[in-house]
Structure 1
Amino acid sequence: MKLLSTEIKNKVLDSMMHIIQLRESEILEANKKDLEAFNRDDQALYDRLVVNDSKIKGMIQAIKEVKEQDDPVSQEISNITLDSGLNIVNKTAPFGTIMIIYESRPDVTIEAAVLAFKANNKILLKGGKEAYNSNVVLVDCWKQALRENSLDESWITMLQMNRDETQEFLRNPDQPLDLIVPRGGERLIDFVKQHAKCAVLISGRGNNFLYVHPEADWKKTIDVIINAKTDKISGCNALDKVLVDTNLPEYESRLRELNEILNAKGVEVLADTISKDVLKDNEVLPTEDTWYEEFLAMKIVLGAVNGIDEAMTKINTYSGGHSSTIMTQDVEAATRFMENIDTAAVYHNASTRFTDGGQMGVGAELAISTDKLHHRGPLGLKQLVTNKYYVYGDGHIRI
């Protein structure tokens, strides 16, 4: 794959920002068609589908931020010269072609493409049918930006395939394919993992947990839980499960208070078999599988645990590997929790809503990876490259 100069890549991004501004009304009109055709039974998916003036500004800002970041390609990782005189240099290199499969979220059409392109990768965009009209216009904007800078339009491609065609493409792609990122629910991820023949980087479910330690500051705890649960229910970084330690001072009254506050915010609160003893009017978890469930709704579980060990075991058993929080003033307990919880992000006295590229200083993100190879957490510009060894000799042979 041809390596593009940083200058030409940034010129494309300049063009794209200008084009989005010029074609804003066209983008909004296309999105209106998608919204009118959408069944609003799934409120979280609907929220992700909406494009408005604020979203347009966000798209432009994402491109601007990526443009201003250093080019991640051909950066030297290491440089050693052996006793034999052989010089070995390790540098960053593009993956090649990345395919992203995603549901709703027209803004992903911008963020995924800008990141892949700046990292010198071609990208194949397989959006959901619910965002078809929006994505057609946004991808056409990309192609216009490429044409204006005399580049091949194949750098950014929208795939229009049904489920069977997608399955066949995953099994037998008609072009080189180096990495697939499925960004969606469990069924989508399982579908891709089952059929793909190349590397798959998982952007997993949320199902995030918060543990209330006996030494928690109660006011901070309330504030963090409300923010993490209600700020954006469609976010994969939203909170779904709260484990309250039964050793918390005034445990019963505080559990009732938390339940009342959540109810007042319109949150449906489920209890587990232990917290049900206090929350007598609450519905109990229907099955154990509920512990595994990502709600993407105004719903939460208030469970009870007896000690930090039980909390850590429960989180490591049921969470989606995304984000977890401990609320405590005990730094030693927080350190123990953070070192032993197996999620991409662990928090001490903070909302899980910060697991986001922009909030973590990464900038625009392709996804939040819950994989452990090759990267975990927000997939930003620096994470969309692999590496290559450059070995310089002078007639060296191995003896």
Structure 2
Amino acid sequence: MNSSKKNSVLKSLAKLLRENSANIISENKKDLELCDRRDLALFDRLKIDESKVKSMIACVENAMNEEDNVGKTLYKFQHENGLQIENRIVPFGKIFIIYESRPDVTIEASVMAFKSGNKIILKGGKEALHSNLFLVKLWHKALISNNISEDFVIYLDVSREKIQEIISENTYKADLIIPRGGDVLIDFVKKNSNIPVLVSGRGNNFLLIDQEADFEMAKSIILNGKSRISVCNALDKIIVDEKLPNLKEKLIELIAFLQENKLKVFGFGSFKNFNLDLEIIEDVSILKEEFLSHKIVILLSDSLENSIEIINENSGGHSAVIVTKNKETALKFQNEVDCGAVYHNASTRFTDGGEFGLSGEIAISTQKLHFRGPLGIHQLTTNKWFISGDGQIR
């Protein structure tokens, strides 16, 4: 399928989304009525409003404007015997994504896969069923109106047991599977799948306040990191360098600032030595936990090396921040912290395909193969060798 045909389908989809905005919101309300509103993170991920529909449309339109790299030559070599050898970009083929809560993924993930030449198999959570089925219905209308088969976008409304069977037997002959959600979902897919797995979704992001930090900047970045609690780029842990000037006064100020902004603040480990009016957690397992809540934990470190070690041992490999005026310290941190996105003086909330100049994202990879961080159109391809000869033998 050439780029013009792909864009024609996407143009139809954007039009259908715009025309059906009220219907999308109406179907989503059916899901929201069944949602436990006490789970603030789930409710936030599940809700579709006019702004969310506009974001879906923007994702589709941005993908239309994205260069289509499928077929592009990455490398050329002419063998001494006359063979013409090229390495070109090709689609994976079929991408299977299993995701939780967020119905906008039904549009965004499919758009990324479609523009990069892939078919996609979708399995959303039952909590978003009404929203997802309606959005897939619009996808199918866009495909059919352009004489393209519906099987470019397949939605599976089946039980957990059936999904286990499908991914273990690879019934749909998928080339890649992406579990986008929490640890339970990711572990389920990794244990049951015979399809190559690309892990996505887990956050548990750390921020280090270095001894040479601009403290007011750090406070601002931390607060922004908790501006949405339901997303994988939210901030969960703050490490404070023990050599920060006026340490105790700064800790008191930081705790008060966070509490004033409705965050549940906890100290960890050696924090208890400061005798602050704060609940102290000593169980080290808390450092590996992704909160998806208003909870945030502060801990102390005696060196940059120790801070890096703490992050590499406990974070989800997603995003990490250092706040410092020292560029050499920042560079050491960015080089040695083992995360997909490493920040100097900026919020983890920027780890997002759109914010990184991609047209959107299918997921944020927290592993090193085959790409890392936000996965957009150009990351959903692989390569193939094309060799032309006239009878050469070796």
Same fold at TM > 0.5 = yes
* Alignment correspondent of 1:255: 251
* Alignment correspondent of 1:29: 26
* Alignment correspondent of 1:356: 352
Q: How does 1:85-234 map to 2 (within 5 A)?
A: 85-229=82-226, 231-234=227-230
Counterpart contact for 2:269–2:280, Cα < 8 Å: yes
Q: Which of 36, 39, 42 is matched with 1:39 structurally?
A: 36
State the Cα deviation string for residues 172-195 of structure 1 (Å, max 9, x = none): 132211000000000100000001
Moved >3 Å (runs of 4+): none
- In the aligned structure 1, how far is the partner of 2:195 from the partner of 2:98? 14
Amino acid in structure 2 at the alignment position of 1:393: G
Q: Which of 368, 375, 378 is matched with 2:371 structurally?
A: 375
Counterpart contact for 1:93–1:385, Cα < 8 Å: yes
* Alignment correspondent of 1:302: 298
After TM superposition, the structure 1 stretch with the greater mean CA deviation from structure 2, 274-283 or 305-314, is: 274-283
Q: CA deviation at 1:272?
A: 1.1
SS for the counterpart of 1:235 is coil
1:16–1:279 Cα change, 3 Å: farther
* Alignment correspondent of 1:337: 333
Counterpart contact for 1:204–1:321, Cα < 8 Å: no
State the Cα deviation string for residues 103-157 of structure 1 (Å, max 9, x = none): 0111000000111111111101100000000001100000000110011111101
Q: Which of 3, 6, 21 is matched with 1:6 structurally?
A: 3
- In the aligned structure 2, how far is the partner of 1:256 from the partner of 1:76? 57
State the Cα deviation string for residues 196-225 of structure 1 (Å, max 9, x = none): 111110004100001111111111111111
- In the aligned structure 1, how far is the partner of 2:365 from the partner of 2:225? 19
TM-score computed with the length of structure 2 as normaliser: 0.98
SS for the counterpart of 1:274 is helix
Amino acid in structure 2 at the alignment position of 1:327: V
* Alignment correspondent of 1:241: 237
- In the aligned structure 2, how far is the partner of 1:359 from the partner of 1:22? 27
Counterpart contact for 1:256–1:279, Cα < 8 Å: no
Q: CA deviation at 1:279?
A: 5.3
Q: CA deviation at 1:286?
A: 5.2
Amino acid in structure 2 at the alignment position of 1:255: L
Q: Which runs of 5+ in 2 are unaligned?
A: none
Counterpart contact for 2:98–2:178, Cα < 8 Å: yes
- In the aligned structure 1, how far is the partner of 2:282 from the partner of 2:179? 29
Counterpart contact for 2:56–2:104, Cα < 8 Å: yes
Matched pairs, number: 394
* Alignment correspondent of 1:74: 71
Two-structure CA RMSD over aligned residues (Å): 0.9
Q: How does 1:276-287 map to 2 (within 5 A)?
A: 276-278=272-274, 280-285=276-281, 287=283
Counterpart contact for 2:108–2:360, Cα < 8 Å: yes
SS for the counterpart of 2:269 is coil
